[in-house]
Each structure stands twice: as C-alpha cells, then as structure tokens.
Structure 1
C-alpha cells in the first residue's frame, strides 16, 4: 500500500514547492492566471496557485543606462556623431504598463533620441554643438519623459557624453588650434624681446648718465686741484702763468712715468718734450685771450645797435 502512495507523495511535494517562488531585491514579478494579468509581486518569498498561476515575467526596478550613437549634420554642413547616454528605470507603480504596453523599450528610447537629436543639431553650427550639448540633452530628456511616462518608464537623466566630428574636420580644427597657439607664443616672445630691448636701452642710458656724471666730477676735482696748486704757487711768488706752465710740465712727466710703468704698452705721446707742453699752454692761453676779445667786441656791437 505504501508503495503506491510514493508517486502521489512525490507529485504533492512538487506541487507544494512550485507554489513558492522568490523575487529578487529591486525587481518585480508579473503573475498571470490562465493567461490574464493577476498581480505584481515585489521582492521576497511569494506564493501562487500551482498550475493555475504562473510567473509571466520579471522586470528590474534598477536604474539602467542605454547609450545611443546618432550621426547627423550641423548647420555648417559638418557630419558629426553624438553619443547620448539615457538613464531610465521602471516606475514601481506602473510595472504592469511597462510589461504589457511596450515590448522593446530600448528600441523605443533609441527612436526618440534619434528624432530629437536630428531635429536640434541641424539648427546649430559645429562650435555651438559643443557649447550647447547640455541644451541637446535637456531637449532629449523632455521629449523622452513625455513619451515614456505613458509606458511606465521614468527618464532619470540624459547626457551627451561624446561629440565626434568627421576626421577631416577634426584635423582642420587641430591645425587651427595649433596655429592659434603658435600665434600666441609668437606674440609673447615678441613682447619679451621688446621688453628686453627697452630695459637694455634704459640700462645703457643710465650707464651713460652715470659715466658722464663721473667724468664731470673727475674734471671738477681736477679743476679744483689745479686751482689749489695755483694758489699755493702764488703764495711763494710764482704768478699764475708760470704756475700753469709748471703744472703742465709736471703732468707731462707724470704721464710719461705712467706710460713707462706698462712694459707691453705701445702708446706713444706726441710730442713728448717739456717745450711742447709749454707751447701747448701758450697756445691755449692765446686762444682764451682771443676768445675773450671776440666776445667783448660782440657785446659792444650789440650795445651800439641798441643805442642807434
């Protein structure tokens, strides 16, 4: 008797175990009874009537991402490929609509992305496509939300993650960017060279000014020293002309001594006799006297013109 009960017990166990099923976290199971929708079961251990009820399908409630690559043409006739990433999920309260109203949500989303991108991008030039990619993404999200909400899908976010122009256009853009950088570098180099020249000229001018000031100070000191020497000689009974001749002869010999200290010097002082120094002094005094006479004559002529 017990032998015949074994098959029934086995079948009963199978029916009992088939009455239970589990639903994973962040997912939902659709239960049908005799082919008709019955209920939505959430995560956890669930119970159904064997043979009568069945799990028709399962949907993930997690956020999913779909990448769509669209090729289109811009307003300035440049072919460009845009990669649009769409993040979406099934609305928890609309699992039935998501399961029964739409068989291939990926295809539906892709169609809307193509439609919006090919409507927006041809209105823009290539530069604006890069600058306004967020506007394109917002337009895609708005259109998808309005369309997919009816089917139980919520569009979380849309992103334009890549913009890839035609290869020849990219090469031309790279050449333009390289030329702009070279132009900027040349301008900076020119500015630097100009600044260097200006600063060098300022330094040379300052050097010349200081050199002239030094020469003036040197001559002033020489003149002061000569004046003191003449005064000293006048005190011992030597008049100014004799004192000047004596100073010239002294400087003449000092110069010869300075030249003789340099063994490799090839400088020759012409003329090199004391008489030559005296003659030079006499010529200078005569020149000064003549210059003073000419100046006095010119003053007298101007005075006579004023009186007339």
Structure 2
C-alpha cells in the first residue's frame, strides 16, 4: 500500500520550475503555487528568466603582433518555451558562452592591426552576437546583446602610443607656431613699411608747409618794409633758423665744429633755391 500526498511548491516571479517524476521529466511550472505528488514528483530545478550578464576576458594578439586583453560582456536569458533544452542539454551555459566568445575573438582580432581593432569594436561585438545567437538558440538561450567593454594592450605599448601621439601633436604645434611667427613678421614688416611711407608723407608735407611759410613771410616783409628786398629777408630768416638749430644742439649736449663760412654757404644755397621756386610760382 502506497501513501502519498499533494505538496504545494511556490515558484518565484520570473522563474520557471522543472518537475520530475521519479527522475523523469514531467512538466514545467510557472511562477506562483503549484501542486505536485510528493514523494514521486519533485521540483528538481529552477531557471531564472531574467536577463543575465557574463563578463569574459580574452587575451589575443593583433596583426601587428601586439597582445591585447579584450573584455566582452554577454547579456543572455532563458527562453521560456525552451526551458527544457536550457536545463537538460547544457551542464554549464556560462562555459559554453565563454568558449564561443574566445573562438570569435581569437579568429577576428588577429586579422586586424591595433588601431583598426580600436576602431572596429562594434564590428567585433556584432560578430560575437551573431555567432552566439545561432549556437545558443538550440540550447534554449537567447543572446540579448554583446558589448566589447575593454580593449587594453600592454602597458609598454600604451606608453609608446602616448609618446607617438605626443610627438605628433608637438610637431603640429611647432608647425603652427612657425606659421604664426611668419605671419607676425610679415605683418610687422608691412606695418614698418606703412609707417615709413606715412613718415615720408609727413616730412614732405612739413617741408612744403615750411616753404610756403617762408614765401609768405618774405612777401609780407617785402611789402611792409620799404627798401627791403627778398635777399635781406632770407638772410634774416636763415639767421633765425641757424640760431634755433644751435639752441637745439646745445640742449642735447653735442659738440659741433662751427665755421662762419658754412653759414654763408648754406645761406647762399637756400637763397638760390628759394628765389628759383618763387620765380616758378610767379610765372
């Protein structure tokens, strides 16, 4: 005579229970209370239906012989309808996933150079995703996403890459600095040329004004003083300019040789030039 009883088993939310009858699969039970015939039947396993993540770290080398550590995050979950396969067909789903990740990474990265590997992280993750989805589907698992979370070469390689990058940036900075110096020198030369041009214009205008002033002074003096001719006026003006020049030279503590003949010669030359200019204006 057999004695048995109904036993109430509770399955948590987002889980599925595997019920066996004397070691043989009987059915799957969902979340909530379920009745089983104890001791012939029992809940031998529980599978979580939540998304889980497996972090895989794989070491391989690139096409240019640089060893790198590749970190891959695999997000997966159990398919409710295929919970039987997930429980009975795989002993360790994490080991299976890890093996396929190693296979894809070590067959993909060696075909790329280091810089290309950094640029192709999305392509690597997509290759891992496609490979795992095809394989794990038969075992009752759905691969939600795969992410390449890290791609780290050796420390010495990192330092070398940083030095190369720093040298390139220093070269660019030196080129820009040289270009800036060139522009600065060109602009300074243009400014100096413009300043000299304007200074020449100023000197020319100054001399023109002086000549006009002298002409006006000679004309007024000749018209107002009877018996005075232009030569007398020029002598007076030249003598005044001469004494002004001596005052300026004396104020700057300079010692110059003085010869009265020099003054007379200067007076003669300026007088001739002034009279010639005056005749041109009158004609």
How far the C-alpha of 1:204 sits from its partner, in A, is 2.0
Unaligned runs of 5+ in 2: 276-283
Output the CA distance in 1 between the equivalents of 2:197 and 2:269. 32
What is the match of residue 280 of structure 1? Answer: 266
How far the C-alpha of 1:287 sits from its partner, in A, is 8.7
Count how many residue pairs are aligned between Structure 1 and Structure 2.
271
How far the C-alpha of 1:193 sits from its partner, in A, is 2.1
Output the CA distance in 2 between the equivalents of 1:43 and 1:281. 125
Output the CA distance in 2 between the equivalents of 1:113 and 1:22. 36
Q: Which moved more, 1:69-78 or 1:105-114?
A: 69-78
Output the CA distance in 2 between the equivalents of 1:133 and 1:72. 14
What is the match of residue 253 of structure 2? Answer: 266
What is the match of residue 99 of structure 1? Answer: 87
Output the CA distance in 2 between the equivalents of 1:205 and 1:25. 87
How far the C-alpha of 1:212 sits from its partner, in A, is 1.7
Correspondence 1:240 to 2:225? no
Q: Is the contact made by 1:248 and 1:278 (CA closer than 8 Å) also made in structure 2?
A: no
TM-score normalised per structure 2:
0.87
What does residue range 61-72 of structure 1 map to in structure 2 within 5 Å?
A: 61-72=49-60
Q: Which moved more, 1:191-200 or 1:137-146?
A: 191-200
Q: Alignment partner of 1:86: what SS?
A: strand
What does residue range 11-22 of structure 1 map to in structure 2 within 5 Å?
A: 19-22=7-10
Partner of residue 130 from structure 2, selected from 113, 127, 142: 142
TM-score normalised per structure 1:
0.81
Partner of residue 24 from structure 1, selected from 1, 7, 12: 12
Output the CA distance in 1 between the equivalents of 2:65 and 2:248. 87
Structure 1 vs Structure 2 CA RMSD: 2.4
Correspondence 1:166 to 2:154? yes
Q: Alignment partner of 1:49: what SS?
A: strand
CA distance 1:212–1:191, change in 2 (3 Å): same
How far the C-alpha of 1:258 sits from its partner, in A, is 5.0
Output the CA distance in 2 between the equivalents of 1:198 and 1:47. 95
Partner of residue 255 from structure 1, selected from 240, 245, 249: 245
Of structures 1 and 2, the larger Rg is shown by: 1
CA distance 1:257–1:272, change in 2 (3 Å): farther
Unaligned runs of 5+ in 1: 1-11, 290-308
How far the C-alpha of 1:53 sits from its partner, in A, is 1.1
Output the CA distance in 1 between the equivalents of 2:56 and 2:205. 86
